[in-house]
Structure 1
Amino acid sequence: MRHLLFRRIYNKLDAGSCVCACHSLKALAAPSRDVSTRSPLEISFNSKPQKKLDFLSKSVGLFGVPELDSPEGFLRAKDAAIKAGWDLLKQAVDAKPGKQTILLFDELSDTLCKVADLADFVRTSHPDAGYVQAANEAHVAIGTMVEELNTNSDLHKALFDVVQDKELMSSFDEETRRVAELFMFDFEISGIHLDSNKRQKAVKLHEELLNLTSAMLQGCHGPVSVLRNLLPSDLAELFGRLGSGSGDLQISGLYADHPDERIREAAYRMFLFPNPGLEAILQRLLKSRYQLSDLVGYESFSERALKSTMAQNPENVLSFLESLSASLKDPAKAEYEDLQRLKREMGSSSDLMPWDVYYYTARLKEQRSNVNASMYSSFFSLGDCMDGLNTIFQSIYGISLRTTDVRKGEVWSPDVIKLSVEHERQGPIGIIYCDFFQRQGKPQQDCHFTIRGGRRLPDGSYQLPVVVLLLHLPQPTSSNPTLLSPSSVHNLFHEVGHAMHSMIARTNYQHVTGTRCATDFAEVPSILMEYYASDARVLSKFARHHQTRETLPPDVANKLCEEEKICAASEMQLQVFYSILDQAFHGVHPLPDSLANTYAKLHQTHVGVPYVPKTAWYLRFSHLATYGAKYYSYLMSRAVASQIWTSCFKQDPLNRDMGERYLSRMLRYGGGRDPKLMYEDMLEEKFDMNKLASTLVKSIK
């Protein structure tokens, strides 16, 4: 719970290569594999889940938490956490200003997060409605207490007395100072230090922002109703065949991959047509963010949002983005020209437009790869991919992933696989629950949930971190394992990268454990793992045909890795544009121009395809609501990950010395150290955002 006080690719394959690769699919007479040659990881992830019947054992509760052996247990856990929380608050207020104050703050945060974070996962992912309802109630109750804590003047004073004592702060270790400052920053953005009138206004603005954010998210994804008689009859008929019904047409997306250009254009113009009601909501959201930031002493919402990041301020972010935009202009232009030629070759004489880009990019990748996607997937069974991850971690960190039995009541679905993460010298360092397979009602998203953060306990022992990885893969069958597309391999490696960040970090405070770090650094460990999934040498270590066990042919592996670079510059150019737009909208208000005009001007400056009048793509940009002023973070994290890969791992991806260095100079700190200092220690060079932009552009060439 962070950020409240306790919240928180190419040439075609030559004929010989194609025959060789396709031949590997012909495995009708392939012998079955001896179980003795299969690793425990492969067996666990490639086998059809079996429900275990256990009538004798007692339930240990979800995640081994005894109280959670039933939905009602959430209420007991919630009540216990709230009671313990108020006791800890009293201790923190009464304590003599010192390190103990910070430790008590973190213990209070941990006490509430253990229930709130667990409830957050359960309410979105548990198949039992009773558990979902109980988790919702617990989450709301903890959230209410958090709001009370954020406005508790006695608690604020206890922390203020520590942070304002420069001599005392200088006596703390680096992590303790950073945690104290982060807690104080969380307090201040809530407006607790203001006089009563301004504080009441801040509270009202916080409440308004919650409602506006929810309304914006709902509006971003809503369909557009269009009268059928407003469209040419043949076009209306085409949309009707797509399932829109016989009455008004419901346009629920861009139809970006539809082969008919008229459908793509009509959907683009209708779905992105300006919506005055949604525009008003966005304007109020942006204005309220500015007003709250101004109230607590910041020039803009962007300045406030970037204070604890690597970039530090809006000026640095814009410098980074403008540098990227300039460097991407020529390569993106060349890619758009390739797409324009392909469009002509496929029979269209019109210019390349925004609604064409996704469709022709996909066709260009198909044309240049000349390999059936299912051929790739046959070499990437889920079990082999997990073996590959295990090989990487053993090589660079001395860390292994080991399947372990689950006890009765510990998991929410029989296909959840529990991994113990173990270091060759330290022993177990954390637990990962792998909820990888599709089921009815499960969120269709790939994500990482922290269930319990790591921290040093008063007796000197360590509270091991617990996380859940959520994917949405098809179940293995009795005859075939789950096979992953190249993009699914990337998603798997990405999410496991987040999990390993949580496992490896050894912070004294859970407030900064693992992924609880600066937003523009949080994606670095996960994106670095994507580079491993894009390296032919690494793929050769684990990519094997699930039936013949033939290794992925080197030429096919190289082709796959190169394919990822097709239209990478134009895709990145769009991300840069989105990020610049995000910064512009979150600048000083009132903005110098309307949202529509600001969007149009920035599009014309930073995007290589024409702006389409009377469209408002920004009203469909949900990240304005969820990543306000921080959408650039993914690009920044990718730039840092690219620099680490290029300087430290590209020559030898499995270099143990570099792995140990990465572990000890970056991952172990979680969010407990300034990410710029971690970067400089790891790379042994000054943090230079222009160099990062240059490295990022080179990485996609």
Structure 2
Amino acid sequence: MDENKSHDQGIGLCMLSRRSFCDANEDLLVVGGRCIEHCMRLLDKLSNSKQRGDLALVVDRLDQVSNNLCSIIDYSGAVYRLHLDRRARDNALATVGKVSGLMAQLNGDIGLYKTLKKSLLANKDEQFLCKEGQKVGTSLLADFEDYGINLSPGARKTFAKLQIDIQNIGHEFEDSLQEPLQSSMVSLSQLVCRRAEAAKLLGHSSYAHLFLKDKVLTDPKNVLNFLNTFDKPQNSNIAEHPEVHSGLCFESILKVLAYLSHNLFETKFVANAEGLWGHDSVRLCFSSTLDDSPMGTVYFIISQRNSVTCHFPIRTWRMRPAENTVYGTNDVQTPICVVTVEVADKMNLSFSEIQSIFHEFGHALHTICAKTMFHHLSGTRCKLDFAEVPSNLMEIILQDSRIFSILAPTRKFVESHQRWVADIVCREDNNNSSQAQLAKFDQFVHGLSHRDCNSPEVFAHQVRHWCSKNTKSPTESFNLLNQVCKFRHLVSYGAGYYSYLFNQRIAKDIWKQYLDPNSPSYEPQRFLKDALRYGGTRDTSDILDSLNIEID
């Protein structure tokens, strides 16, 4: 629906008005309750899916359930992370727990799993699902199986408890990062142990093997071979330089982003100031350059106070109209996402701050441009080995000074930009080597069997030995130990941190082949047409084939 309508117009998120969305002043537990009520009506229909007509709607109805639950969880999660009012954050956290509880229950629902299998089997004869619907159905089936649906009742109960433990211990690990090393190591050992135990229940030798089974690199050995290509001696002679400032304000950067959106991604946006959760923010209303149809909304928070730099996809594309909708409309669902970047001075951004803005805007474009029929595989809901490609590509684009031509840049600006790019190139090998080492540790700990990490003492011995083996002195070993045991991405990217470098390499190839104006195969919208607009409905390997990209 048109996101430019009045503040009191429902935005399609459990009948929230835009004003309530921006203030988060409505009781989120009540909103979560509305969401659950609607999902229960859909689940009742799913449980009675016996006739052909009902079987043909199973994937669509499961997608609606997933869409409703994920939207409220993601909205509440973003409010919890960003809202300046403590009461709103506490309310949001309680809502996440309430709605996530239903999500966990449904993940282990054998009746839903059997109904989905029956629907996909019927589709083989009657072909009532489109190609994307088949992909979504197969993905949902795999999600059930990855949650232990085929285990015995006792093992399934154990698996479900492990998933709750993993979530809770992940929060404990993140909370321990400011505490002494021993506290972080204990939480990390518990997290790794629970993941290893869950993988073992599903028949995998380690959590890394479970995670990589459907990725391009397929197993830990292939990942390590890839990471070894970044092994280069650290250059200790590179001097530290102060931040290079651009002299540009955020509004100027928005003009550059608007230029790129129009020329590379067939989108345009109108920017308006609008408060969000106590912050000053800018609301970007996107539409298509081809037919002016709405493409979604991005809220941009540029904060000069302690904040986080990240992207929250609150809602995705869903081109299929919903039945008995909780959205307040039967129209097509367009995306909503929130981007937040911490800066020192909004009127004089450093180039590293602009890089963060470009990176997070790349994630937002992924959400906006993936115009899919179903929610389940839309936008950034793709495989992790492709999820960072758009954001990495935006960082590479930033290094080309030609994109600033619309601002009529001064000589001082051009020289500052050149100095910043030269510094990035100078540090690239060091940065990639450091990132590869963290990714190797991620593979190491998640490659441990349950036996090798079933106590904090055994785990600590394994980790200390790994750090010693990968450094040249006790001091280096101790410093590495402190770094890896306080590495936040071990929670959200467990066994998948390598994907940053993997996606970076893909992005570089896309730039060289299609986006660099000096390339003989220059085709600026090729990335949009062959990759971005598909979200997760195409596997990474298929996207790479269509773009003629090979990863050594």
Cα deviation, residue 194, structure 1: 1.0
In structure 2, C-alpha distance between the alignment counterparts of 1:279 and 1:396, rounded to whole Å? 45
Q: CA 1:137/1:61 → structure 2, altered by over 3 Å: closer, same or farther? A: farther
Q: CA 1:313/1:161 → structure 2, altered by over 3 Å: closer, same or farther? A: farther
Alignment of 1:3-402 (within 5 A): 65-66=16-17, 71-96=25-50, 98-163=55-120, 167=124, 172-222=129-179, 224=180, 275=182, 278-325=184-231, 329=232, 332-333=233-234, 335-336=235-236, 338-339=237-238, 361-362=239-240, 365=241, 373=243, 376-378=245-247, 380-402=248-270
SS at match of 1:118: helix
Alignment of 1:254-653 (within 5 A): 275=182, 278-325=184-231, 329=232, 332-333=233-234, 335-336=235-236, 338-339=237-238, 361-362=239-240, 365=241, 373=243, 376-378=245-247, 380-404=248-272, 411-413=276-278, 415-427=280-292, 428-439=294-305, 444-458=307-321, 462-474=332-344, 482-542=347-407, 544=409, 550=410, 552=412, 554-589=414-449, 590-591=451-452, 594-603=462-471, 611-612=476-477, 616-617=481-482, 618-652=484-518
Q: CA RMSD in A?
A: 3.0
In structure 2, C-alpha distance between the alignment counterparts of 1:580 and 1:613, rounded to whole Å? 17
TM-score in terms of structure 2 length: 0.86
SS at match of 2:284: strand
Say yes or no: does 1:674 pair with 2:534.
no
In structure 1, C-alpha distance between the alignment counterparts of 2:480 and 2:319, rounded to whole Å? 53
SS at match of 1:565: helix
For 1:65, the aligned partner's letter is L
Alpha carbons 2:514, 2:521 under 8 Å: kept:
no
Per-residue Cα deviation, 1:357-394 (whole angstroms, up to 9, x for no partner): xxxx41xx46xxxxxx56x432x221111111111222
Other-structure match for 1:696: none
For 2:362, the aligned partner's letter is G
Cα deviation, residue 148, structure 1: 1.5
| Higher mean C-alpha deviation, range 629-638 or range 387-396 | 387-396
Cα deviation, residue 59, structure 1: 5.2
TM-score in terms of structure 1 length: 0.69
In structure 2, C-alpha distance between the alignment counterparts of 1:70 and 1:635, rounded to whole Å? 37
In structure 2, C-alpha distance between the alignment counterparts of 1:449 and 1:213, rounded to whole Å? 19
Alpha carbons 2:184, 2:486 under 8 Å: kept:
no
Other-structure match for 1:695: none
Alpha carbons 1:540, 1:554 under 8 Å: kept:
no
Cα deviation, residue 405, structure 1: 6.9
Instruction: Structure 1: give runs of 5+ residues left out of the alignment.
Output: 1-56, 225-271, 340-360, 367-372, 477-481, 545-549, 691-701
SS at match of 2:151: coil
Other-structure match for 1:664: 529
Cα deviation, residue 198, structure 1: 0.9
Alpha carbons 2:135, 2:537 under 8 Å: kept:
yes
Alpha carbons 1:116, 1:138 under 8 Å: kept:
yes
In structure 1, C-alpha distance between the alignment counterparts of 2:463 and 2:485, rounded to whole Å? 10
Q: CA 1:430/1:552 → structure 2, altered by over 3 Å: closer, same or farther? A: farther
Cα deviation, residue 431, structure 1: 0.9
SS at match of 1:426: coil
In structure 1, C-alpha distance between the alignment counterparts of 2:229 and 2:300, rounded to whole Å? 40
Cα deviation, residue 640, structure 1: 0.7
Per-residue Cα deviation, 1:174-221 (whole angstroms, up to 9, x for no partner): 422322222122212221221111112212322332333233222233
Q: How many residues align?
A: 522
Q: Report the identity percentage.
A: 25
Per-residue Cα deviation, 1:426-479 (whole angstroms, up to 9, x for no partner): 31211111121335xxx5211111122111123895311111111223566xxx
In structure 2, C-alpha distance between the alignment counterparts of 1:203 and 1:499, rounded to whole Å? 32
In structure 1, C-alpha distance between the alignment counterparts of 2:96 and 2:388, rounded to whole Å? 26
Alpha carbons 1:540, 1:551 under 8 Å: kept:
no
For 2:80, the aligned partner's letter is R
In structure 2, C-alpha distance between the alignment counterparts of 1:75 and 1:611, rounded to whole Å? 49
Per-residue Cα deviation, 1:647-672 (whole angstroms, up to 9, x for no partner): 1112359x997232211111101111
Alpha carbons 1:162, 1:169 under 8 Å: kept:
no
| Higher radius of gyration, 1 or 2 | 1
SS at match of 2:299: strand
Per-residue Cα deviation, 1:209-266 (whole angstroms, up to 9, x for no partner): 23332332222331x4xxxxxxxxxxxxxxxxxxxxxxxxxxxxxxxxxxxxxxxxxx
For 2:403, the aligned partner's letter is V
Alpha carbons 1:306, 1:313 under 8 Å: kept:
yes
For 1:447, the aligned partner's letter is C
In structure 1, C-alpha distance between the alignment counterparts of 2:303 and 2:228, rounded to whole Å? 41
In structure 1, C-alpha distance between the alignment counterparts of 2:379 and 2:221, rounded to whole Å? 28
In structure 1, C-alpha distance between the alignment counterparts of 2:470 and 2:307, rounded to whole Å? 33
Q: CA 1:458/1:609 → structure 2, altered by over 3 Å: closer, same or farther? A: same
Q: CA 1:675/1:571 → structure 2, altered by over 3 Å: closer, same or farther? A: same
Larger RCO: Structure 1 or Structure 2 (Cα < 8 Å, ≥ 6 residues apart)? Answer: 1
Cα deviation, residue 501, structure 1: 1.0
